[in-house]
Structure 1
Amino acid sequence: MSDKFFARKRWQSLGILGIIVALAIMFIIITEFSIVQGFASVPKAITWAVTNFYPNAVSLEKLPSILNKLVETVLISIASTTVAAVFAGFFAIMGAKTTRVNLFIAIICRGFGTIFRNIDVAAWALILLFSFGQSALTGWLALFFVSFGFLTRVFIETIDESSTDSVEALRATGAGYFAIIFQSVIPSCIPAMISWILFMIETNIRSATLIGILTGTGIGFSFNLYYKSLNYHAASLVVLAIVVSIFTIETISNYVRRVII
């Protein structure tokens, strides 16, 4: 019986793999993408990057300006994420099965999270550009909306997975709704929530670079300015600053996760 089961699973896996390969070939034909030319261009791209895309002594003079823009980008990412986390926490409590007030409000809260999460951050930036123009506020709002949607979803799942038993125990003792929230739900979920917030900050710093290109602010604007003016040495310094900042924040967030979890 087990041999037949594993054989059937193996054939199912091979069938799915065959479908994926067939779709990939079909899309390559439709888009007229040349795999040979793609791989052949890799050595040329590496050669160009090695000979042109690196910081030099002249580009280092722009480092203070680049660092100022980088700090602006990091602060916008942290601010948008933390404010979004507050709103997401409220919506998650209203939307989670464990803590919802009623089904109608829960559906609305989950719906808001789904809508904001499924619209890409670049799309939000383009939409908001019509109302707020190229400004830091546009980038902040774009990151806020996406962060709110994502955190609402993961907070709901965290509440439903982490606090069910303790909530049922408090309800059995006759505890009120707010006592359950502040004595059970928040204490049991806060480590996982902080971990998700740190992850979102890391993600937003990466996204903020693209948003900066669209909104004309932050480190993304600096990269776009140098790259379009063919100042590749300064543009490479911007990329290096972004990479270092991301690794630094990731190291800090990993340390915080080890401490709280």
Structure 2
Amino acid sequence: MNEKTMRKHRWQSGIFLLILIVLTYLSSAITTFNFMEGMATIPEAMGWIFSNLLVSQESFEKLPKILEKLAETIFMSIAATTIAAVVSLFLGVLGSNTTKVNNFLSVFARFIASVSRNIPVVAWSLILLISFGQNSVTGFLALFAGTVGFLTRAFIESIDEASQSSVEALTATGATYFQIVGKAVIPQCLPQMISWVLFMVETNIRNATLVGILTGTGIGYTFDMYYKMLNYNVVALITLCIVITVIIVDLISNYVRKVIL
């Protein structure tokens, strides 16, 4: 890299840093956020947490009910992810440049993925809440909609990165479209696709807690109920159960990824 190019990169980095500083200042001014005051409240906030969010013996009496709702959240997340993965596989095959049937279906699949992915799960929950009300169906559909967008995009990229040699070999032998997809494309992409599905299971378990608060289902609803009752001991137990569950799911997912990849 010559000196002129390095000087250009330094100027670009300096301008970017200046723009970032200006945007940060404007954001603080518009929101009336004071960074120093915010930092000063941290010790008091941490003190409140350690004083109030304590798991007591009485809160353990609620553990069976908490675990029941937590299991409901986990199963809903797995169901939403699994069904979304099937739909996403279909859309991914249609949207990929390697396996697309025609340009119209490819653009259509990519459009669905873009719209679904760019609307947050919380927004999906609020949109569906108006139509379906507070129930488990709303939570399931919100997770499903968000997952379809993410997995479709991930599957399209995985299929596009697949080796073309096996596809060309089967094409040369006169194989049908479905034979090419089933014998050449999917087997190559399957480990990576499974990895993405496992990632979305982890993500949806986290998202399901927030979705449950809005839709009145699962562990999110239980958390919200005890929080509004100011029963912070049970809130602490619920939070602990969620954290442990996410860690366990993450460990299982990492182990499965090591095996398949």
Could you say which TM-score interval applies, normalised by the shorter chain?
over 0.9
* Corresponding position: 1:5 with 2:23: no
Q: Which residue of 1 aligns with 2:246?
A: 246
RMSD (Å) for aligned C-alpha atoms: 1.0
User: Structure 2-normalised TM-score?
Assistant: 0.97
Q: Which residue of 2 aligns with 1:140?
A: 140
Counterpart CA distance in 1 for 2:83 and 2:115 is 18
8 Å Cα contact 1:93/1:100 also seen in 2: yes
Amino acid at match of 1:90: F
Q: Which residue of 1 aligns with 2:214?
A: 214
Unaligned runs of 5+ in 1: none
Q: Which residue of 1 aligns with 2:86?
A: 86
Q: Which residue of 1 aligns with 2:69?
A: 69
Q: How many residues are treated as equivalent by the alignment?
A: 261
TM-superposed CA distance for 1:169, in Å, is 2.9
Q: Which residue of 2 aligns with 1:127?
A: 127
Cα displacement string for residues 83-130 of structure 1 (whole angstroms, at most 9, x for unaligned residues)? 000000001101100000000111111111111111111111111112
Q: Residues 1-261 of structure 1 correspond to what in structure 2 (within 5 A)?
A: 2-261=2-261
Amino acid at match of 1:104: F
TM-superposed CA distance for 1:70, in Å, is 0.4
Counterpart CA distance in 1 for 2:83 and 2:256 is 19
Cα displacement string for residues 35-64 of structure 1 (whole angstroms, at most 9, x for unaligned residues)? 111011100100000010121111111111
Counterpart CA distance in 1 for 2:146 and 2:93 is 19
8 Å Cα contact 1:81/1:143 also seen in 2: yes
Counterpart CA distance in 1 for 2:44 and 2:172 is 69
Cα displacement string for residues 149-168 of structure 1 (whole angstroms, at most 9, x for unaligned residues)? 11001100100012433222
Counterpart CA distance in 2 for 1:165 and 1:144 is 34
TM-superposed CA distance for 1:148, in Å, is 0.6
Counterpart CA distance in 2 for 1:87 and 1:163 is 23
Cα displacement string for residues 205-242 of structure 1 (whole angstroms, at most 9, x for unaligned residues)? 00000000001110001110111100001001111100
SS at match of 1:62: helix
Counterpart CA distance in 2 for 1:86 and 1:119 is 20
Unaligned runs of 5+ in 2: none
Counterpart CA distance in 1 for 2:60 and 2:237 is 8
Amino acid at match of 1:18: L
8 Å Cα contact 1:163/1:189 also seen in 2: no
Counterpart CA distance in 2 for 1:36 and 1:238 is 32
Amino acid at match of 2:239: V
Cα displacement string for residues 145-196 of structure 1 (whole angstroms, at most 9, x for unaligned residues)? 0001110011001000124332223223332211101111110000000000
Amino acid at match of 1:3: E
TM-superposed CA distance for 1:34, in Å, is 1.0
Amino acid at match of 2:94: M
Counterpart CA distance in 2 for 1:112 and 1:164 is 26
Counterpart CA distance in 2 for 1:164 and 1:56 is 60
Counterpart CA distance in 1 for 2:256 and 2:75 is 18
Counterpart CA distance in 1 for 2:22 and 2:186 is 48
Amino acid at match of 1:107: V
Identity of aligned residues (%): 52
Comparing 81-90 and 158-167, the one that deviates more: 158-167
